[in-house]
Amino acid sequence: MAKFQVIILGCGSATPSARHQPSCQVVDFRDKLFMIDCGEGAQSQFRRQGLKFSRLSHIFISHLHGDHLFGLPGLLSTMSLHEVGGKVTIHIFREGAELLKSWMDFFNRDSSFEIVYDIIEPGERRVVYEDSSLTVETFPLYHRTACTGYIFREKPKLRHLKGDMVRFHNVPVSRYQSIKEGADYEKEDGTVVPNAALTTEADPSCSYAYCSDTLYSQRVANDIKGVDTVYHEATYDSSLAAQAKDRGHSTAAQAADVAKKAGAKQLIIGHFSKRYVNGEKILLDEACGVFGNSVVLANEGLRVNLE
Amino acid sequence: MAKFQVIILGCGSATPSARHQPSCQVVDFRDKLFMIDCGEGAQSQFRRQGLKFSRLSHIFISHLHGDHLFGLPGLLSTMSLHEVGGKVTIHIFREGAELLKSWMDFFNRDSSFEIVYDIIEPGERRVVYEDSSLTVETFPLYHRTACTGYIFREKPKLRHLKGDMVRFHNVPVSRYQSIKEGADYEKEDGTVVPNAALTTEADPSCSYAYCSDTLYSQRVANDIKGVDTVYHEATYDSSLAAQAKDRGHSTAAQAADVAKKAGAKQLIIGHFSKRYVNGEKILLDEACGVFGNSVVLANEGLRVNLE
């Protein structure tokens, strides 16, 4: 199966700590890398995971708090020193693009690649990336400042040819693609072989939603309905629900509730408060209690299969 | 003896690597901390060394290359989250101050402390910090862009009172300070007790010069003449002298030559190229061959006594 996974590079909140780095993760989709958020130190975490800068050409920023983007100047400068070519697109709110551009125009003026700024408007729902097999779309999150989530959706895959039946009906190779896409096969004598006789079901297409940082909200559950895997911030445990609300964050139980209402199969929780110095098991237990068993505690270097 | 030491937080060049962090160090002088350069990750290195943000109120930036200052936004934001009060002064070239200010005004708008920008002019020689026991002054370095070094000088210390002689002459406590500063003591009957009879020599005052990044230059040796300890960049070994010159850097032998001509007692070399993946012993050997034995290879976490 083609690779579709997320690699956690940072899952702490606010500042780097002894346990965690600030927010950053990479979606690895069939050898293309997509970075989501870029806290300070992202470039070091990226290289520690053995990832190649040349495969990274889109960076999606959720909101304009420093712990989600202070790694950008260093990452982009290092990519230029590594002579990455082509274009790198930063999906970001307008003020962030302006501030970043002012730094990059000065500190990275001889950049080896073009930096393209894709301006996201607050509250916008839009497909911000599309290729032949994947889309990335935005949806609103609810934080202390404008914040956007991202949904990665594999496009429908091709059906599998039944080799024996294709040979039996002498289907020419030139027709394989259209049949894999679902077409029937019409023989020269006019006989129609229905697609179902020639193919089996395509592999399922998978999807992944990134939700950090956000208040607990049913609107998020609605927006990510049907997504297979959800990353949702779980900054606090339920005993701190008031603080979570006050600071525009969620508890682990709330994260699980959103994922459950969305019908997700798998939940990854992250963006942990620094207070959990001995580990986030309390958050895992809380989320499992609401969601079921398929809850994963984010950690730097963790790779989660999205297929 | 009062503490006067330098703590290396980063001594690599250009980008973070598996071996080294970008440029950053802290001078710890009698419980005040002075940061020199602030590469990405400086805040993490700072905390790893158990240093307190509340003790840091001056940051000296040598030049406007990213590997010497991309750690500033994160460091300053984290200091604000830690509710550091008062003022933090950034000594920096004008364009750097403007770019940093634009980010801090946006990302750290509710800062717990005031950020003061002390503008250094290229080529300037000036005392940029002074208190009762220390001065910090700038002097020019010679890099691809305007670059400044910093010299930390302890002011002359007080002479030591001879307790027995002070008692013998019935010197009142109110006169101790002036006598420690070198005054004679005039008794009520007009007899003068010379200072030498009442005191012994003050402890020597020490000094430290920071020289990174720079071409090999006799002018640097002249400017830091008489300094006790020199930190000098040694990006390359002598086989790469042409590359060093081309990129505005120095070899280890050149660093040692500058320190020797300055009459320094101790040399710390750093700002190592990433090519020395198996260690910088070649640089140490080269510098020792020129300077003598008192050469220290910088490393993250290393503390060098400056007294």
Chain A contact for B65 (CB, 8 A cutoff): yes
Helix H or strand E encompassing B149: strand B146-154
Q: b/e per residue, B178-192, with b = 16+ CB within 10 A? A: ebbeeeebeeeeeee
Respond yes or no on whether ipTM tops 0.90: yes
Sheet holding A229-233, edge to edge: A127-130, A134-142, A146-154, A207-211, A229-233, A266-270, A295-297
Mutation target among A37, A40, A68, A100 for the B interface, most CBs of B within 10 A: A40
Residue A2 pLDDT > 80: no
Confidence of residue A31 (pLDDT cuts 50, 70, 90): confident
Q: What is the structure's pLDDT at B2?
A: 62
- Nearest Cα of chain B lies from the Cα of A73 at a distance, in angstroms, of 7
pLDDT tens digits, residue range A225-278?
A: 999 999 999 999 999 999 999 999 999 999 999 999 999 999 999 999 999 999
Residue B140 vs residues A239, B63, B123, B127, B214: alpha-carbon distances, Å: 56, 11, 5, 13, 9
Supply B50's token pair.
């158990």
Helix H or strand E encompassing B229: strand B229-233
Euclidean distance between CA atoms A252 and A256, whole angstroms: 6
Q: What is the structure's pLDDT at B292?
A: 84
Q: What is the structure's pLDDT at A83?
A: 97
Residue B180 vs residues B183, B187, B197, B307: alpha-carbon distances, Å: 7, 17, 12, 20
pLDDT tens digits, residue range A254-263?
A: 999 999 999 9
| DSSP-based three-state secondary structure for A73 | helix
Q: Where are the beta strands (DSSP E) in A30-183?
A: 32-38, 56-60, 87-93, 114-120, 127-130, 134-142, 146-154, 160-161
pLDDT tens digits, residue range A205-223?
A: 999 999 999 999 999 999 9
Q: What is the structure's pLDDT at B31?
A: 86
Of B83, B6, B89, the C-alpha closest to A15 is B83
Contact B179, B192 (CB under 8 A): no
Euclidean distance between CA atoms B25 and B39, whole angstroms: 10
Residue A1 pLDDT > 60: no
CB-CB under 8 Å, B108 with A66: yes
Active site residue A131: no
Contact A198, A179 (CB under 8 A): yes
Q: Could you tell me whether strands B266-270 and B295-297 are parallel, antiparallel, or unpaired per DSSP bridges? A: parallel
Percent of chain A residues past pLDDT 70, beyond the cut: 99
Residue A101 pLDDT > 60: yes
Cα–Cα–Cα angle for A117, A122, A124, rounded to 5 degrees: 85
pLDDT tens digits, residue range A182-211?
A: 999 999 999 999 999 999 999 999 999 999
Q: Which of A28, A31, A37, A67 is catalytic?
A: A67
Tell me how crowded residue A278 is: count the other CB atoms within 10 A of its CB.
Answer: 8
Facing A41 at nearest CB: one of B44, B47, B81: B44
Percent of chain A residues past pLDDT 90, beyond the cut: 98
C-alpha dihedral, B90 to B94 to B96 to B98, nearest 10°: 90
AA letter at A266:
Q
Chain B contact for A70 (CB, 8 A cutoff): yes
The pLDDT of A11-17, averaged and rounded, is 95
Residues in chain A with CB shorter than 8 Å from the CB of B102 are: 99, 102
Catalytic machinery residues of B: 67
Sheet holding B229-233, edge to edge: B127-130, B134-142, B146-154, B207-211, B229-233, B266-270, B295-297
Q: What is the structure's pLDDT at B252?
A: 98
Chain A contact for B145 (CB, 8 A cutoff): no
- Nearest Cα of chain B lies from the Cα of A173 at a distance, in angstroms, of 50
Give me chain B's average pLDDT, please.
97
Q: Which residue has the tokens 């930190």?
A: B231
Beta-bridge partner residues of B129 = B136
Question: Where do runs of H (alpha helix) occur along chain A?
Answer: 42-48, 72-81, 94-107, 163-168, 176-180, 195-198, 218-223, 241-246, 252-261, 281-291
Of B32, B99, B37, B95, the C-alpha closest to B71 is B37
pLDDT tens digits, residue range A110-168?
A: 999 999 999 999 999 999 999 999 999 999 999 999 999 999 999 999 999 999 999 99
Sheet holding A32-38, edge to edge: A114-120, A87-93, A56-60, A32-38, A24-29, A4-10, A303-305
Residues lower than pLDDT 70 in chain B: 1-2
Question: Where do runs of H (alpha helix) occur along B117-171?
Answer: 163-168
Supply B74's token pair.
């994160």
Nearest CA in chain B to A99: B103
CB-CB under 8 Å, B107 with A43: no
Residue A4 vs residues A1, A51, A134, A144, B190: alpha-carbon distances, Å: 9, 14, 11, 32, 93
pLDDT tens digits, residue range B110-147?
A: 999 999 999 999 999 999 999 999 999 999 999 999 99
The pLDDT of A294-307, averaged and rounded, is 97
Q: What is the structure's pLDDT at A74?
A: 98
Chain B contact for A10 (CB, 8 A cutoff): no
Contact A5, A303 (CB under 8 A): yes
Of B8, B47, B51, the C-alpha closest to B32 is B51
